[in-house]
């Protein structure tokens, strides 16, 4: 079994460490999708569903490289908080993101779903 570290671009092509570092420094390249789920009736409810390109193969068992990840970030009190799933292709990652948004939104009363282009700014 080959345990050599391998980096991949979003198309699944092998890249060298220099290219990986350059791409990891580009937040627009790393982000596949980012969705905020809030409640219209309860302002304390806020979940972020984030899907990103990881670059580094996380398969650990061979087969197709696993280079994308969806995670849910929330208030820490819900079953969905810090849930994660990983994927081999960008198409799988996009489909997984959409499915995760649907699952999380179903747990929120009066859900409001917002597609984001960047992480929300923290209050000062």
Residue 16, number of CB atoms within 10 A of its CB: 8
- CA dist 110 and 14 (Å) reads 44
The predicted structure's pLDDT at residue 1: 40
Residue 80, number of CB atoms within 10 A of its CB: 18
Q: pLDDT band for position 62 (50/70/90)? A: confident
Give, as one character, the DSSP assignment of residue 56: B
**pLDDT tens track for 90-121:** 999 999 999 999 999 998 999 999 999 887 76
**pLDDT tens track for 7-50:** 999 999 999 999 999 999 999 999 999 999 999 999 888 999 99
Q: H or E element: which one contains 33?
A: strand 31-39
Tokens of 100: 């995760």
Check if the beta carbon of residue 119 is closer than 8 Å to that of residue 43. no
- CA dist 29 and 52 (Å) reads 9
Check if the beta carbon of residue 74 is closer than 8 Å to that of residue 81. yes
pTM, two decimal places: 0.88
């Amino acid at each position: 079994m080959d345990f050599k570290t391998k980096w991949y671009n979003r198309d699944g092509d092998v890249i060298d460490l220099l290219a990986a570092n350059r791409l990891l420094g580009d937040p627009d390249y790393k982000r596949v999708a980012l969705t905020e789920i809030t409640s219209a009736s309860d302002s304390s409810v806020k979940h972020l569903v984030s899907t990103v390109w990881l670059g580094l193969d996380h398969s650990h068992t061979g087969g197709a490289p696993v280079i994308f990840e969806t995670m849910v970030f929330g208030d820490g009190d819900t079953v969905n908080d810090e849930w994660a799933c990983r994927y081999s292709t960008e198409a799988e990652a996009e489909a997984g993101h959409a499915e995760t948004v649907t699952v999380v939104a179903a747990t929120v009363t009066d859900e409001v779903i917002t597609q984001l282009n960047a992480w929300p700014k923290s209050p000062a």
